[in-house]
Amino acid sequence: MDTRAYIGRSVGSLPTPALVVDLAGLDANLRRLADYFASRPAKLRPHFKSHKCVTLARRQLDAGSAVGITCAKLSEAEALVAGGVVDVLIANQVVGADKARRLALLNRQATVRAAVDSPANVAELAAAAAAQGVQLGVLVEVDLGMKRCGVAPGAPALGLARLVSRTPGLRFDGLQGYEGHLVTLPDLDERRRRTLEAMAELVQCRRQIEAAGIPCLIVSGGGTGTYDITGNVAGVDEIQAGTYALMDAAYERIRPEFVCCRWVEATLISATEGRAVADVGVKGMGCEFTMPRVTEFPDAEVPYVAEEHTPLRNVTATVGQHVRLIPAHGCTTNNLHRRLWVARGDTIEDVWPIEGSGCLE
């Protein structure tokens, strides 16, 4: 496909399904969060996994209040560094000799940190750093109740920080703690209370480590759902919000201040009395949390999403009509596409590659 040929044409001319972003909405979202953190001690480290687009990541950095970019996988970090991003945090464990080597190599070009939660991984990263003649910055991950990765707060976190700080080739840069089990709690009071409790444990870890004479320069965590809670906790330095940039149908329920500016442009390929079927399914749209929202039909019901089809109920539509589907989960949606069509109004203005699409290792 000659994608540049579509620049200047209408969104409705795109072959579907197509992933589209409204540039005005995107810039408004980026400006809102950059302005929020402009005068606060904590700063942004936007999460790449939410959009996987290097051009958008650079736009987040250019908006201000950002100290670097977060990502989930080593291959995403490689895409970011290749695209000119020089400060990256892999908010995950990088395990395996080959991956450790690749991480060390990246640090010849940029600062690329990773999280650790085991002595075995500490030793593996240190060996790779020594072999490549670099020093790797790492964050000790603390489990704040998500029961995923991370060591327990208190003595386990302090013990691992001590090990990192005395291991040649590694640099203890701080702590990571993600309250991911709390970021989408619908009740704001409960979300605030439980988030503050979790962050208190993380900050206490910081104080214990510093009291042991080990500098703790970075405490990183948070997300779109808790940016105005975690981002105001004394002792937290970085907020890893990601979804705020493009938004999705799940997050808009608790974060209405941001614009849902990304959608899947789809064509109705079948239509009968009160029903229609769009030409996209789970192979082109993340549906883990709820059903997509149909912009043109606010009262539409989506009973399910199949591999290549999204049935709509309670609609009056025609075959060939275009609809805009706001995906329930934006992060997995972008991972399914190779390009992001950039629109201003109804006109295609640019097309951005999604370099991180399919970056799973």
d(CA 184, CA 328): 13
Residue 264 sits in the same domain as residue 209: no
Residues 6 or more apart from 193 whose CB is under 8 A from it? Answer: none
State the pLDDT at residue 147: 96
**Cis omega (within 30 of 0) on the bond before 17?**
yes
Q: How far is CA 254 from CA 166, 224, 248, 263, 332, in A?
A: 43, 10, 11, 18, 19
Q: Would you say residue 217 lies in a domain?
A: yes
> Do 170 and 136 touch, CB atoms closer than 8 A?
yes
Which spans in 72-183 are helix H? Answer: 74-82, 97-106, 119-132, 155-165
Residue 57 sits in the same domain as residue 173: yes
Last residue of a domain, one of 216, 245, 274: 245
42: which DSSP letter?
Answer: S
* pLDDT tens per residue across all 361 residues of the chain: 899 999 999 999 999 999 999 999 999 999 999 999 999 999 999 999 999 999 999 999 999 999 999 999 999 999 999 999 999 999 999 999 999 999 999 999 999 999 999 999 999 999 999 999 999 999 999 999 999 999 999 999 999 999 999 999 999 999 999 999 999 999 999 999 999 999 999 999 999 999 999 999 999 999 999 999 999 999 999 999 999 999 999 999 999 999 999 999 999 999 999 999 999 999 999 999 999 999 999 999 999 999 999 999 999 999 999 999 999 999 999 999 999 999 999 999 999 999 999 999 9
State the pLDDT at residue 1: 83
Q: Which CATH number fits the domain that encloses residue 110?
A: 3.20.20.10
Question: Beta strand 275-278 with 310-313: parallel, antiparallel or unpaired?
Answer: antiparallel
Domain range enclosing 270: 3-19+255-353
**Structure tokens belonging to residue 16:** 């579907």
Q: Would you say residue 361 lies in a domain?
A: no
Number of separate domains in the chain: 2
Residues 6 or more apart from 42 whose CB is under 8 A from it? Answer: 222, 230, 231, 232, 233, 236, 237, 238, 239
For 203, phi then psi, to 5°, come to -65, -35
